[in-house]
């Protein structure tokens, strides 16, 4: 069996399922009317179109919310709605999700219907206020839900099915396909908005069947950047969305690919997660996400290029600010080295950036991390977690000390008084200890799909890996292990000698170069040592020469 087929087998991809996995079929999409309240939402929108009502799409300031907002603006225009606008909250003045103040401002514009994207499932008070002001609300969301739904016309959220039928699903997938339930629950916000469009197509004219595929560039971008699992419909949406993105009609996305040095015909999930996504998110982290929405919706190529360059400059500033906060946060983290959960807090930190810093702290210390930015008497922050420790559940366990909070198991947000930070730290750490989790750090250790001889790692193999795209959560880039290799050369690189490149050779005299950025100390082995290595192979092109090189993920001395 070839190395590629050994990898497929290790991932549970059998010869019978191989073709479907490697070439997902868009036409096998799930029935959108199986989602909760979809019928109610479509009926209300039919009424709104008939009566030419003023509709406001209430988005969110991250990429998932922005792409979902742009998707509905685009598609509603196609369906013939004539009075549709968008409201994007400001991270610094309004914060995440619906607010009463925003609802009151929207009511003054004359809107009679608000459609949320990527938020709203827990907005009971805000939706009640909308009703008082004569506005109906349709929620489209994918975040955690409460036992009682807000008083909206419809709450379209796949997670409601997980709450109502917990035993019917495993890893968000329906166990028994004969059940008349929606088969997949890990759609991002933009995925839920796209299902609304598919449902509207069944009842309204304006977007012919198949033409909705042109929206998949937005769906792919939001799906990858929201780090949902790339299986089932998500994999299908991103697989075809990348093809749409390679020839996108949107001047903004073409301009963004230009400034990010992304070749359209070579765009992949990594291009979205590390090239386009950070630039789009930068505007909401530093100023206002409206710039990013303007980029997605503009039809003027010159305006698109201007905004794309602005976002690129913002992203450079974001990186500089992020590095400074990370250095300060590490100093604090060392003070609480015995805590299983890192909680750090300081004034002067940009709370639009602290989520990235939390992710970097998790990576460095292999612990869940909360990073809080203090502004006067209020601390706002973000959490990143992994394994059996849910950041959202931890926040709920500390509800006596917080103002508000919520999110996902792996990423969440929280607001609390500055004076309560110490008690919050104690509460989330006590919650962690009560869980009695074991061997959590092992979950972060790279494991291999297959053992490989260096002679098997060639350009043909890397080319075969491309068929497994899109890579991401639930479908990571393949990892190989090669054992008993001799270290032939070690090169330190970077302004602080923080990167390392190893040249290794096996017993058959085949050599391979391995590169690690910001490598931990134990990666800096000595020439002559024998090691086992874990790595992801890729093609390195330099001055017209191509070679296979490995991204080094783990090293063990023999």
- Domain boundary among the residues 213, 237, 259 is at 213
Query: Are 517 and 379 found together in one domain?
Result: no
Q: How many domains does the chain have?
A: 3
Query: Are 81 and 143 found together in one domain?
Result: yes
Query: Are 64 and 199 found together in one domain?
Result: yes
Task: Mention every residue, 6+ apart, whose C-beta is less than 8 A from residue 245.
Answer: 216, 217, 220, 221, 253, 264, 267, 272
Query: Are 460 and 433 found together in one domain?
Result: no
- Nearest C-alpha neighbor of 198 from the set 91, 369, 79, 323: 79
509 phi/psi in degrees, rounded to 5: 70, 20
Range of the domain at 365: 336-444
Query: Are 541 and 392 found together in one domain?
Result: no
CA atoms of 193 and 240, how far apart (whole Å): 17
Query: Are 465 and 436 found together in one domain?
Result: no
Q: Is the dihedral of CA 203, 205, 208, 213 positive or negative?
A: negative
Structure tokens at 126: 């805000």
Query: Are 389 and 489 found together in one domain?
Result: no
Query: Are 144 and 174 found together in one domain?
Result: yes
Query: Are 429 and 489 found together in one domain?
Result: no
Is 280 inside a domain boundary? no
- Domain of 410, CATH number, reads 3.10.310.30
The kind and range of the H/E element at 552 are: strand 545-557
Query: Are 150 and 49 found together in one domain?
Result: yes
- Domain of 519, CATH number, reads 2.40.50.460
- Domain of 82, CATH number, reads 3.90.1640.30
539 phi/psi in degrees, rounded to 5: -95, 130
Residues of the chain with confidence (pLDDT) below 50: none
- Nearest C-alpha neighbor of 361 from the set 325, 389, 414: 325
- Nearest C-alpha neighbor of 269 from the set 229, 220, 236: 220
Query: Are 427 and 459 found together in one domain?
Result: no
- Domain boundary among the residues 444, 478, 510 is at 444
Looking up tokens 């706002």 gives 380
How many angstroms from the chain centroid is the CA of residue 550?
Answer: 25
Number of other residues whose CB lies within 10 A of the CB of residue 152: 26
Number of other residues whose CB lies within 10 A of the CB of residue 310: 19
- Nearest C-alpha neighbor of 325 from the set 300, 304, 345, 301: 345
Q: What per-residue confidence (pLDDT) applies to 459?
A: 94
The kind and range of the H/E element at 377 are: none
* Maximum Cα interatomic distance, the chain, rounded to a whole number of Å: 78
Distances, alpha carbon 461 to alpha carbons 343, 431, 507, in Å: 43, 45, 21
Is 273 inside a domain boundary? no
Is 402 inside a domain boundary? yes
Query: Are 130 and 206 found together in one domain?
Result: yes
Q: Residues 79-94: pLDDT tens digits?
A: 999 999 999 998 887 7
CA atoms of 256 and 261, how far apart (whole Å): 8
pTM score over 0.85: yes
Q: What per-residue confidence (pLDDT) applies to 408?
A: 80
Is 181 inside a domain boundary? yes
Structure tokens at 505: 């050779």
- Domain boundary among the residues 213, 241, 267 is at 213
Strand-pairing partners, residue 499, are: 493
- Nearest C-alpha neighbor of 369 from the set 411, 327, 322: 411
Strands (E), 167-245: 169-170, 173-174
Task: Give the burial class of 162: count Cβ atoms within 10 A of its Cβ; 0-12 exposed, 13-18 middle, 19 or more buried.
Answer: middle
């Amino acid at each position: 069996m070839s190395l590629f087929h050994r990898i497929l087998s290790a991932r549970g991809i059998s010869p019978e399922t191989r073709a479907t996995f490697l070439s997902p079929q868009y036409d096998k999409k799930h029935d959108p009317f199986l989602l909760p309240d979809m019928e109610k939402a479509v009926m209300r929108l039919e009424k709104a179109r008939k009566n030419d009502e003023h509709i406001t799409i209430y988005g969110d300031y991250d990429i998932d919310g922005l792409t979902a907002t742009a998707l509905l603006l685009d598609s509603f225009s196609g369906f013939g709605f004539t009075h549709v606008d968008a409201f994007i909250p400001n991270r610094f003045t309004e914060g995440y999700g619906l607010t009463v103040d925003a609802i009151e401002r929207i009511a003054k514009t004359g809107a009679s219907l608000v459609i949320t994207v990527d938020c709203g499932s827990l907005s009971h008070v805000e939706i009640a206020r909308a009703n008082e002001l004569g506005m109906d609300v349709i929620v489209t969301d994918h975040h955690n839900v409460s036992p009682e739904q807000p008083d909206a016309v419809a709450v379209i959220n796949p997670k409601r099915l997980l709450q109502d039928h917990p035993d019917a699903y495993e890893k968000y997938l329906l166990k028994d396909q004969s059940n008349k339930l929606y088969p997949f629950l890990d759609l991002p916000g933009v995925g839920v908005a796209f299902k609304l469009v598919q449902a509207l197509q069944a009842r309204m004219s304006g977007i012919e069947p198949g033409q909705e595929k042109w929206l998949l560039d937005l769906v792919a971008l939001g799906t990858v950047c929201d780090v949902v699992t790339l299986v089932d419909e998500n994999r299908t949406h991103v697989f075809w969305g990348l093809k749409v993105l390679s020839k996108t009609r949107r001047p903004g996305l073409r301009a963004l690919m230009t400034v990010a040095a992304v070749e359209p015909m070579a765009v992949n999930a990594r291009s979205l997660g590390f090239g386009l996504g950070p630039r789009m998110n930068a505007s909401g982290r530093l100023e206002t996400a409206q710039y990013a929405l303007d980029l997605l919706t503009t039809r003027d190529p010159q305006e698109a290029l201007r905004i794309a360059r602005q976002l690129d400059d913002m992203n450079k500033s974001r990186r500089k600010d992020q590095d400074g906060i990370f250095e300060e946060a590490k100093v604090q983290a060392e003070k609480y080295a015995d805590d299983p959960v890192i909680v750090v807090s300081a004034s002067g930190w940009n709370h639009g950036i602290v989520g990235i810093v939390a992710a970097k702290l998790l990576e460095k210390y292999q612990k869940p991390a909360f990073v809080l930015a203090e502004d006067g008497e209020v601390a706002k922050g973000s959490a990143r977690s992994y394994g059996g420790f849910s950041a959202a559940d931890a926040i709920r366990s500390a509800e006596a000390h917080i103002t508000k909070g919520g999110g996902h198991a792996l990423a969440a947000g929280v607001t609390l008084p500055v004076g309560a930070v110490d008690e919050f730290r104690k509460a989330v750490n006590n919650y962690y200890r009560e869980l009695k989790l074991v061997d959590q750090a092992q979950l972060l250790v790279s494991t291999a799909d297959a053992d490989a001889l260096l002679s098997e790692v060639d350009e043909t193999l890397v080319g075969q890996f491309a068929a497994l795209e899109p890579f991401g959560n639930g479908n990571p880039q393949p990892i190989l292990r090669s054992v008993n290799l001799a270290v032939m050369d070690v090169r330190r690189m970077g302004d602080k000698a923080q990167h390392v490149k190893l040249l290794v050779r096996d017993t058959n005299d085949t050599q391979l170069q391995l590169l690690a950025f910001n490598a931990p100390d134990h990666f800096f082995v000595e020439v002559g040592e024998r090691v086992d290595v874990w790595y992801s192979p890729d093609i390195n092109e330099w001055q017209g020469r191509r070679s296979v090189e490995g991204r080094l993920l783990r090293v063990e001395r023999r």
